[in-house]
Amino acid sequence: MLFKGRSSLAWSRRLQLIIALLVLSTAFSSCKTTTSQNAAVPTEQSFASKVIGNETEKSIGCQYYDPSEADFGQSYMIKNTSWVWAENDDGNYLYVKGRKEDGFYVVDRVFSTNKLNPFSSNKTVLNSQATIEELCRRTIAKKHSNSKLFRVFVKEEKLIASNLRTQEHPAVFQDRDLSSRTSRLVIFGDSLSDTGNLWAKFRKASPKGMPAPPYFMGRFSNGPVWSDYLGLIANLAIDNWSYGGAQAAKTPSDRDDIIGTIIGAGRGIVTGSMAEYINDYINTDLTITGNVISPEKTTYLIWIGANDMLSKFDVPGASIDSYIDDPDSHEGYKTVMRRAAVQVNGDIRKLYARGARNFMIVNLPDMGITPMAAVGKPYHRNDDEAKRRSDFSRALTQMTEFYNGLLKEQANDLRNSFGDIKVAELDIFSQLRKILEGQSVDGGDFEYGLNLPAFSYNIDVPNGNPIVAYRPCFSGGYFGDSADTVCSNAAKSFFFDMVHPTTNAHCWLGYLIQRELYNQQLIDSAPDVNAYSAQCISNPAEVKHDCSAKHPRIYPDNNCGTKRGYHGTFNMRKCLGINDGQNISYYKCDNNGNCACTGQ
């Protein structure tokens, strides 16, 4: 999802925006420069590891940010972000050796060396995501005391390149790749999953990028999105090809209205379609053999279609009566959504032909209860406001259910076509309804930390029961207008803007997706609702792992409560000796996540 649209925006301003998007798009290439992840009020935490370069030996870089700055210290007026080379405690730089696989860089060895001293010997460092993150934190603290770790990446020392996407891949450290099931996730989606890809595109032509603050680090939310949390808690390496505004199928060029054609083409040029990004993935990440090397290690997650459904709504001042009320017409929503669902099928077949075997399709949440439903759009203009709003809300729900039904048909078609394909489905439509109704997705009652009544309201239905919908926390736009406002209790809201969830809600989305990946036997790490509660409710910016966070690692005999061989990722750092990774202490944790070292 991308464009929100406002009835108060003048035609001239809308046209200026359209023209600006078309002009900006000429500066964009199809490359993907992945930015990284953190929270609305960031704390010291890394959500991703990236690799830059093509050589087998690469240096480790640590990108940092300043949580006190409005732009998080990312220097919007220049194109470069802030980073330092990772050092060991003795001041020597860190390096990795490894290999490329399917868009990921599998790290075989981590070591430190003093390249200024030819007589110095390499020192092995523990091949662990947590170890490298901790060393990055210490390096940043020595050089920039007010800054925090943003992400870890691996970089060729003398990189001279204009196309960073061809040089950058998620890093898979040894502790991430020991799973007997998939340990890597490739995502194709829109703004619900975008972790900065569209923002990076806009920064090529605009200093701030888009979305600008208070949207966080290129995410369409006030903090991390679901894939950020999933990668951290489930210990998955993630290659994210999601772009805000992306559609499943390209907008046809034979539209009846000129403005609609301009907007449809502008969206396609600026944000593209999933088919284009799958082609980019194949041409960029599968270059070694042209096919997936380790299909058993990778799951491909598809979450797309909202922008196809809402594309007609971008047309300023246009009536959407025929789009909704004549759904089977050439421009009706059923025609549009059939085209989108068929495209999803075709895109999965294309990946399958390249060797991919594990997929998950996520359907759309109920658009009829989003804050957008309250706007009513230019639907049934001659009706009274109450009827117009209720009809629009119900139409959005009906459109969503229709598309979700099509996705299920396409998933069945794929399973019937290929005997060795795994196509899991996540019914996010039903699961999010449970959360918004205060029900536990696992049964019974559960506290999600959201104050839903404070942000809910009733859409009156003539001669019927009212529809419960929700208000947004943020009333501004994607370009960081100075008049933008954010509610004071964002952590209690489900929706940040007209269609996008808050980071708290995204945290629970991460839980739902991890649970389904586990239930479908795609990953071996089961989500723990208590671990997610500790992270999602009080302060999603601060990770609070306890013994319930069960992450299998390579360390022998670590005791966490009664779980042998498991530990909470961040608790481990309290005991791990950061001395070239040679000293490993064991520890025990109580139910509050407090750990104590128990010796060597």
* 507 & 562 share domain: no
* 549 & 514 share domain: no
User: Does residue 186 fall inside a structural domain?
Assistant: yes
Within 173-270, strands assigned E span 184-189, 237-240
Q: Can you read off the two tokens belonging to residue 62?
A: 């640590």
Please name the residues in contact with 386: beta carbons below 8 A apart, sequence gap of 6 or more: 459, 460, 461, 462
Sign, CA dihedral 48-108-169-509, equals: negative
Task: Please provide residue 272's backbone torsions phi and psi, each rounded to the nearest 5 degrees.
Answer: 80, -175
Q: Are the C-beta atoms of 25 and 269 separated by less than 8 Å?
A: yes
Residues of the domain holding 557: 545-599
* 442 & 560 share domain: no
Q: How far apart are CA 198 and CA 34, in angstroms?
A: 9
Task: Please provide residue 352's backbone torsions phi and psi, each rounded to the nearest 5 degrees.
Answer: -60, -40
- What pLDDT tens digit does each residue of the chain (600 aa) get? 654 433 333 334 444 444 444 444 444 444 443 333 333 332 333 333 444 444 467 778 887 877 666 666 554 433 345 778 899 988 888 888 888 889 888 899 999 887 666 566 788 888 888 898 899 999 999 988 888 887 777 765 433 333 434 356 788 888 777 667 898 999 999 999 999 899 888 776 666 678 888 888 789 998 889 998 898 788 888 999 999 999 999 766 444 444 444 344 444 445 789 999 999 999 988 988 899 999 999 999 999 999 999 888 766 555 689 999 999 998 899 999 999 999 999 999 999 999 999 999 999 999 999 998 877 667 888 888 888 888 999 999 999 999 999 999 999 999 999 999 999 999 999 999 989 888 888 766 677 888 888 898 888 888 888 888 888 998 888 877 654 578 888 889 999 999 999 999 999 999 999 999 999 999 988 998 877 887 787 544 333 333 333 333 222 333 333 332 333 333 333 333 332 233 333 344 444 444 444 443
Given 485, 519, 553, which residue is the final one in a domain? 519
* 306 & 188 share domain: yes
Termini Cα distance of the chain = 51
* 427 & 296 share domain: yes
Tell me which residue of 311, 310, 429 sits closest to 364, measured CA to CA: 429
pTM over 0.85: no
Say what the alpha-carbon torsion angle 14, 398, 194, 261 is, to the nearest 10 degrees.
Answer: -30
* 513 & 583 share domain: no
Q: Are the C-beta atoms of 530 and 548 separated by less than 8 Å?
A: yes
Q: Are the C-beta atoms of 577 and 600 separated by less than 8 Å?
A: no
User: Does residue 265 fall inside a structural domain?
Assistant: yes
- pLDDT tens-digit map of 169-206: 788 888 777 667 898 999 999 999 999 899 888 776 66
User: Does residue 231 fall inside a structural domain?
Assistant: yes
* 297 & 180 share domain: yes
* φ/ψ bin of 258: left (φ > 0), alpha (ψ from -120 to 50), beta (otherwise): alpha
User: Does residue 65 fall inside a structural domain?
Assistant: no
User: Does residue 525 fall inside a structural domain?
Assistant: no
* 440 & 299 share domain: yes
The 8-class DSSP code of residue 561 comes to T
Q: Are the C-beta atoms of 509 and 219 separated by less than 8 Å?
A: no
User: Does residue 242 fall inside a structural domain?
Assistant: yes
* 512 & 564 share domain: no
Q: How far apart are CA 589 and CA 560, in angstroms?
A: 5
* 196 & 305 share domain: yes
User: Does residue 581 fall inside a structural domain?
Assistant: yes
* 438 & 552 share domain: no
The total of structural domains in the chain comes to: 2
* Helix H or strand E encompassing 50: strand 49-52
* 296 & 443 share domain: yes
Given 519, 554, 576, which residue is the final one in a domain? 519
User: Does residue 225 fall inside a structural domain?
Assistant: yes
